[in-house]
Amino acid sequence: MKRITKRWRMPQDSFSKLVVWFKDGRARTFYSYDWHSPNAYHRDRALGLKRLQKFAKKIGNDAGVAQIYDIQTDRLLQNFYEGNPTIKKK
């Protein structure tokens, strides 16, 4: 008998999201991929955040502003401007 496992789905199972405003006026939302495989037993918040940061740097030439948010609290985690992380001023 084959074992049935839960498969992770985006966006409902993601911890973080990346909102990107491109230089040509478009805006897109990308969700974190917080698991090693679709059938993994656990999610890893740090892995998903690392992947979103890497992706934000990769699309930096086309993107003007990118921001990473925590989905559960809707709190801003990190800003990017043209692929480079920026520091929030207090």
Residue 52's identity, in one-letter code, is L
Residue 88 pLDDT exceeds 60: yes
pLDDT recorded at residue 35: 84
Q: For the residues of 61-74, what is the DSSP string, one character each?
A: TTEEEEEEEETTT-
Closest by CA position to 40, among listed 12, 9, 19, 17:
9
- Find all residues with CB under 8 Å of 51, minimum gap 6, and list them: 32, 33
pLDDT of residue 39: 76
* Structure tokens belonging to residue 17: 């999201």
What's this model's pTM, rounded to 2 decimal places? 0.82
Give the residue among 46, 52, 41 at the shortest CA–CA distance from 8. Answer: 41
CA torsion, ordered 5, 52, 67, 90, to nearest 10 deg: 110
**Based on C-alpha coordinates, what's the Rg of the chain?**
15
Query: Of the ranges 4-8, 48-52, 69-73, which one carries the lowest mean pLDDT score?
Result: 4-8
